[in-house]
A and B are shown apart, each in its own frame.
Chain A
Amino acid sequence: MQNSETGTVRVLWRLVPYAKKALPRIFLGVFAAIAAHLFALAIPQLLQGLVNSLVEGGLEALLPAVGFILLLGLLEAFFVLLRRWLVLTPGTHVEASMRNALYEKLQDLPVAFHDRWPSGQLLSRAVSDLSLIRRWLSFGFVLFTANLITIIVGLVILFTFNFWLGLIFFVATIPIWVAGFLFEGKYNVVARLSQDQSGDLATRVEEAVHGVRVLKSFGRGAFAASQFSSQATELRSTEMKKAKAVANIWLYLIMIPELAIGLSMLAGIWLVAEGEMSVGTLVAFFATAMVLRWPTESLGFLLSFTLEARTATERFFEVIDSENKIVDPVAPQVVSEPKGLLEFNNVRFQFPDVQSADGELLRGVNLRVEPGQSVALIGLTGCGKTTLTALSTRLYDVTGGSITIDGVDTRDLRREELRTLIAMAFEDATLFSSSVRENILLGNPTATEEDLKQAIEIAQAQFAYDLPNGLDTTIGEEGLSLSGGQRQRIALARAVAAKPKILVLDDPLSALDVDTEAMVEDALRHVLKDTTALIVAHRPSTVMLADKVALLQDGTITAFGTHQELLKSSEHYRYVITSLDIEQKEREVNL
């Protein structure tokens, strides 16, 4: 652990820009908290005088003293109210603005970043970390400061009551602080472990539910249950560790103060008997100790709360500080009258997480797609077809060479313009939780009803009209679930509706059945007539859509031509696309 005090302060200091507006009220909140504590501390002072006068039998002091005590009590409550009111709103605003900033940054960061960071990791930053920071700002920080001052004032008061009593109290507080601090550290470790384990257990549940047909089919329900049970046992023992840590801290939190009070009683009564101290002071001492009890107990927790807030802040800035290399150019160029000429010039690419020297996926791809031309991209699974399509809209940046549209390097275009020029349909069709209409018009929100209708027709997505609320039916995570083929057709309609100059389709028909596929292909032909298109394909029928075929092999384009030409000239092409065909012919002899 390298969390020296200065380090923690420096890390938390970075919150200042986000918390700037809130700081004045937060500091006022600190003062309100101190005031509330001081009023609470003042009550025993009055009690002291009151008890002493009671012992002496003076009636006249009673009423004013009680009245004063009541006033102080009301003031305490009022200042607690004031503190809460002061820190409440600014805290939530800080949280909200940090959350928006994080989201904005995440959306801007490139796909490569998201490949590395599972969404769960990002989510815990956006939700629990930020809410922890908010709580620390409006409670942790305020109470830490206020309690510290209260304890110091309280100790001074106790020492003025009597040196020995003060000493007993002071000595007793130290182990409480230590225990509270240690507890929080230990507790956090097990708590995180338990979080991980219950996450794993949840994954186990999810898999068993999603894969229930497989488990049933193989009769492995009991097998899965025994695996689940052993993981649940692990979680249980971690939970017990957690409970033990809690029980331990309670042991100290109850024992130490009680022992201190017992010893104070011994000392106090003896001192009173010796005439060193008045009864009133003894009563006041107990009352003061009672007031100081909570601030004292909380100090250890608050200190480690501060350390936790530091970790949360670090995690937040880990994302905010991430460098984005795929940004808009300083001096953007514009393709004024786009024709749709797409060129890959000696394009090289290596995934950032692949370290080896020969890890390059693309090793000099040269491909020229003329305006209006459509090219099918063919190659074995894993040869980099999908990656090549992703490079075209800068979801990744090339590690060598360049991609140009009408002669302009894609890196010299604003990303928004580039992505207006090119529309994509992905193999795993991502739909968002909104209406079918909004999903289709995602790339072209101002499209007319006619455009929408046309896109649906081309993608053969007419089934959407028959959904419960037609095109206004909510789909995606939160809505109606669609089959793989249906999702693909919506995604295809989306790409078409964007009316781009260049269409990039990554195996857009893989989940369709043969009949539907044929219909979509027929309709697509019209669109492709005057749109530049790059189509990743696996099946011969999809290849037929394109004017030309490019064969991607070992990171380069090894053959380019029409389907017929490549059938004749390229053995690898025949292997990739027609092996069944040949085998089929052989078998036909037997039929």
Chain B
Amino acid sequence: MSMFGTNDEERTDLTKEESRYVRARSRKLLGSLIDPIKTRIYFAIFLGVISTALRVAGPALIALGIDWALPKAILRQYNELWIVVITYLSAALATSILTYLFLMLTARLAQQMLFDLRNRMFVHTQKLSVEFHERYTAGRVIARQTSDLESIAELLSGGLNELVIGGLFMTFTAIALFLLDPTSFLILFGALLPLGILTRWFQVRTNRGYRKQRVASSRLIQYFVETMTGIRAVKAFRKEKRNEEHFGGLVEDYRKHNAHLIQLFGIYDPGLIMIGNVTVAAILLSGGYRVLDGSLGIGVLTAAILYARRFFDPMEEIAIFYNSYQSAASALEKISGVLEEEPSVPEPTNPVSFESARGEVGFQGVEFKYSTGPVILKKFDLKIPAGQTIALVGTTGAGKSTLAKLIARFYDPSQGSVKLDGTDLREISNKDLRREVVMVTQEAYLFSGTVIENIQLGRPGATIDEVIAAAKAVGAHQFISKLPEGYETDVNKRGGRVSAGQRQLISFARAFLANPAVLILDEATSSLDIPSERMVQAGLKSLLAGRTAVIIAHRLSTVSIADRVLVMEHGEIIEDDSPSKLAAGTGKFAKLYQAWKDSLVQ
């Protein structure tokens, strides 16, 4: 079991031990991503080292040219010159080609790791239970898989390269200078102190600045999107002026943070130039004296100046790298937290083999409560024979949906067991269970894609004829054929204009195609208008024929097709009989039924 999982995410007061744990966790994740590509990473580093070393060799070769080849050339001996020049040109060619290879290889590796992480996250979040999704909320699951992955991508495919190349470049430059002229190296070394102070200052400030800027920009984006998606309400309630004021404030806020950031760059950049120029002047001064007393060649001095000037080039990139490193590290921590979560409804390790179900559902001594909240079901027993259609009736909070979710194994009971054909659901493999038990909910979620694709979700690989047959069976065919492109209509594109009721019809067709032994309909007809509902009533008969069904509905019109009605209150069944008998009695159902009839017959 995880020590933290996602629980630590919002906390800022982690103890030392805890944050060590979190860091170790994300290191472990990183390690598991790196492991399969380890050798190639070593090779990439090798390429980087060689190509940078060759690039740094340039000024040294120039020095060689001036101090060694030039005197000979004056004597009309050109061999040395050719050697130096050809070496220089070969080094130039080699370094550019090796850099190319280095960049390509690191990009491939970075993409491989990202791809791996993306897939892992997707598969894992799909595996996690409904309980997790309800607790963690959709927005955060999505953020982990989009913006957090994005910041890791940014680091891997941009920053890390710059850091490796830049770091190597500075190291080799320093080494070259040291070999060429230790005195100049010492001067450069002395420049590291102001450079370090300036860079540290820059990093701390920009890190803070970026964080503020991100907050400001996401506020701005949020407000903008909310205005545009709610434009009807904005106009209808004359919110424009107020919006402009508020948005103007957000824009100004963002501007200030942005300006502050640019200002930091505006100081850092000339600061680097200044340190570089002072260093060059100092090297020139000390070198000049030594040239005069003959202890230093002009060429070496030239190379030293070139080295010193180039030494500072990668600094800005390296300083920025720190920021992207930080945001990627915190993203990785959060992602590793999600990956550490384990499904609270786990797959059985040794599933009972399950060929095809008759559809008998049983509750035995079931007790259930949501992680935070009161007990919903207590010692609950129920037997639904195969093929029976059950209607669940009761007020909100009576436990109807909980019952449905337990049958679909979205949750496991805390005590007792839920059984299908006498087998505990916890012992049936996910694949078998989902084939036999299907739940259709009120939200009737449609995925982007055509109507066909959406219905096919019930049984991937179903032919178009089968899809159409399913749609006809549930009464969805008529409206689908009237859509702009019929079954090929993209449901989420504008112009598709699929209403809530039509969505529900499509999800009925989906369930029909899946052909499960047990079907659960949780408020699945709530949004239908009356003519559509009438169509569904007819369709329902074919949908429910030959299978066990549990129907939850506010509107009693649906109830009449049930074989048996269960009236629930506070997690208990208070009435249990056929609809006609209950309606004729004096219980709660009879009252509800009368009220409903009154609302219809005017």
Kindly specify which of B358-366, B383-391, B437-445 makes contact with the partner chain: B437-445
- Name A88's contact: one of B100, B262, B447, B529 (CB within 8 Å): B262
Contacts of A261 in B (CB 8 A): 58, 62, 88, 92
Contacts of B408 in A (CB 8 A): 216-217
Q: Are B229 and A430 in contact (CB under 8 A)?
A: yes
- What are the residues of chain B within 8 A of A232 when measuring CB–CB? 115, 118-119
User: Counting CB contacts under 8 A, is A59 at the interface?
Assistant: yes
Q: Which of A562-588 contact B (CB under 8 A)?
A: 563-564, 567, 575-581, 583-584, 587
Neighbouring A residues of B66 by C-beta, 8 Å = 269, 279, 282-283
Binding site of B, secondary structure by majority: helix, strand, loop or mixed?
Answer: helix
B248 to chain A, nearest CB (A): 6
A236 touches B145 (CB 8 A): no
Q: How far is the CA of A72 from the CA of B281 in the complex (A)?
A: 10
Our pick among B103, B146, B285 for the contact of A66 (Cβ within 8 Å) is: B285
Give the distance in Å from the alpha carbon of A518 to the alpha carbon of B78 in the complex: 104
Which residues of chain A come closer than 8 Å to B463, judged between CB atoms? none
Q: What separation, in Å, do the CA atoms of A85 and B119 have in the docked complex?
A: 46
B276 closest partner in A (C-beta)? A73
CB-CB under 8 A from B78, the residues of chain A are 270
In the complex, A266→B82 CA distance in Å? Answer: 8
Alpha-carbon distance A445/B243, docked complex (angstroms): 13
CA distance A222 to B237 in the complex (A): 46
In the bound complex, residues from chain A placing their C-beta under 8 Å from that of B97 are 251, 255
Bitwise interface map of B from 226 to 257 toward A, beta carbon under 8 Å scored 1, else 0? 11111111111111101110011001101100
Is A11 part of the binding interface, using a Cβ–Cβ cutoff of 8 Å?
no
Q: Are A115 and B285 in contact (CB under 8 A)?
A: no
A9 at the interface (CB under 8 A from B): no
Q: Which residues of A contact B92 (CB under 8 A)?
A: 254-255, 258-259, 261-262
Which of A220, A233, A433, A581 touches B457 (beta carbons < 8 Å)? A220
A327 CB-CB contact with B under 8 Å: no
User: Which of A88, A218, A445, A591 has most B Cβ within 10 Å?
Assistant: A218
0/1 per residue, A69-101, Cβ < 8 Å to B?
110111011101100110011011101100110
Chain B 539-582 near chain A by CB (<8 Å), digits 1 or 0 = 00000000000000011010010000000000000000001100
With A258-B96, A419-B237 as known contacts, state yes or no: A213 contacts B221, CB within 8 Å.
no
A527 at the interface (CB under 8 A from B): no
The verdict on A247 contacting chain B, using a C-beta distance below 8 Å, is yes
A residues 187-221 with Cβ under 8 Å of B? 198, 201-203, 205-221
Question: Known: A73-B281, A229-B119. Contact between A430 and B127, CB under 8 A?
Answer: no
Stretch at the interface among A103-111, A158-166, A403-411: A103-111
**Chain B residues near A209 (CB, 8 Å)?**
125, 133, 138, 141-142, 145
Stretch at the interface among B1-9, B32-40, B267-275: B267-275
Contact B531 A478 (CB under 8 A): no
Interface pick from B67-75, B185-193, B200-208: B67-75
Which residues of chain B have C-beta atoms less than 8 A from A174's C-beta?
A: none
Decide: A240 and B108 in contact? CB cutoff 8 A. Answer: yes
Interface residues of B in 277-293 (CB under 8 A from A): 277-278, 280-281, 284-285, 288-289, 291-292
Residues in chain A near residue B305, CB distance under 8 A:
47, 287
B412 at the interface (CB under 8 A from A): no
Taking the closest CB of chain B, its distance from the CB of A134, in whole angstroms, is 8
| CB-based contact B602/A419 at 8 Å | no
Give the chain B neighbours of A575 by CB distance below 8 A. 531
- Our pick among B235, B243, B262, B601 for the contact of A419 (Cβ within 8 Å) is B235
Least distance between B130 CB and chain A CB atoms (Å): 6
- Residue contact B247 to A100, C-beta cutoff 8 Å: yes
Cα(A256)–Cα(B442), bound, Å? 65
Contact of B222 with A by CB under 8 A: yes
Measured between beta carbons, the chain A residues less than 8 angstroms from B584 are 591
Cβ of B232 and Cβ of A390 under 8 Å apart? yes
Closest residue on chain A to residue B133 by CB atoms? A212
Decide if B85 touches A265 in the complex (CB within 8 Å).
Answer: yes
Q: What is the CB-to-nearest-CB distance from B376 to chain A, in angstroms, rounded to a whole number?
A: 18
The 3 nearest A-B residue pairs measured at CB: A219-B434, A73-B277, A243-B107
CB distance B306 to A381 under 8 Å?
no
Chain A residues contacting B95 (CB-CB under 8 Å) are 254, 258
| Contact, CB under 8 Å: A208 / B122 | yes
Q: Are B602 and A540 in contact (CB under 8 A)?
A: yes
List CB contacts (< 8 Å) of A43-74 with chain B.
43, 47, 50-51, 54-55, 57, 59, 62-63, 66, 69-70, 72-74
Known: A250-B96, A287-B306. 14 other contacts (CB 8 A): A55-B298, A74-B277, A81-B270, A103-B227, A107-B231, A107-B235, A107-B240, A247-B99, A250-B103, A255-B97, A269-B81, A419-B235, A442-B237, A581-B600
B151 at the interface (CB under 8 A from A): no
Say yes or no: A126 contacts B255, CB within 8 Å. Answer: no
A118 contacts across to B, CB distance below 8 A = 494
- The 0/1 profile, CB within 8 Å of B marked 1, for residues 224-251 of chain A is 1100110011001001100110111011
Q: How far is the CB of B418 from chain A (nearest CB, A)?
A: 15
User: Which residues of A are found within 8 Å of B138, using beta-carbon distances?
Assistant: 206, 209-210
A5 lies within 8 A of chain B by Cβ: no
- Tell me how far the C-beta of A437 lies from the nearest C-beta in chain B, rounded to whole angstroms: 14
- In the complex, what residues of B have CB within 8 A of residue A126's CB? 224
Residue numbers in B under 8 Å from A258 (CB-CB): 55, 58, 88-89, 91-92, 95-96
Q: Is the CB of B281 within 8 A of A85?
A: no
Question: Contact: B251 with A62, CB < 8 Å?
Answer: no
Q: Which of A335-343, A366-374, A420-428, A553-561 contacts B (4 or more CB under 8 A)?
A: A420-428
Query: What residue in chain B is nearest A540 (Cβ atoms)?
Result: B600
Q: Judge whether A283 and B285 touch: CB under 8 Å.
A: no
Contacts of A423 on B, CB cut-off 8 Å?
A: 236-237
Q: Report chain B residues within 8 Å CB of A419.
A: 235-238
Q: Which of A85, A215, A282, A433 contacts B223 (CB 8 A)?
A: A433
Contacts A/B (CB < 8 Å), 23 sampled: A51-B301, A73-B274, A81-B267, A91-B262, A93-B255, A103-B244, A107-B235, A119-B228, A202-B145, A205-B122, A217-B438, A220-B460, A239-B157, A243-B157, A250-B100, A258-B95, A259-B89, A381-B532, A419-B238, A430-B233, A443-B236, A540-B599, A590-B580
Q: Which residue from chain A places its CB closest to the CB of B243 in the assembled complex? A: A107
In this assembly, does A519 line the interface, its C-beta being within 8 Å of a C-beta of chain B?
no
Question: Within the assembled complex, what's the spacing in Å between the Cα atoms of A250 and B96?
Answer: 7
Shortest B400–chain A CB gap in Å is 12
Q: Are B145 and A591 in contact (CB under 8 A)?
A: no
Partner-contacting stretch, out of A141-149, A298-306, A449-457, A508-516:
A508-516
Judging by beta carbons under 8 Å apart, are A380 and B529 in contact?
yes
- Contact indicator B445/A273 (Cβ below 8 Å): no
- Is B232 in contact with A70, judged by CB distance below 8 angstroms? no
B382 contacts partner chain A, Cβ-Cβ < 8 Å: no
CB distance from A505 to the nearest CB of B (A): 12
B70 touches A239 (CB 8 A): no
Complex Cα distance, B258 from A126, in Å, reads 15
- In the assembled complex, A127 has its CB within 8 A of some CB on chain B: yes
Residue of chain A at shortest CB distance from B430: A219
Closest residue on chain B to residue A443 by CB atoms: B237
* Distance from B461 Cβ to chain A, minimum over Cβ atoms (Å): 10
B111 at the interface (CB under 8 A from A): yes
Known A-B contacts A115-B494, A251-B100; A218 and B434 likewise in contact (beta carbons under 8 Å): yes
Chain B CB within 8 A of A122 CB: yes
**Chain A residue at minimum C-beta to C-beta distance from B514:** A218
> Does the CB pair B555–A266 fall under 8 Å?
no
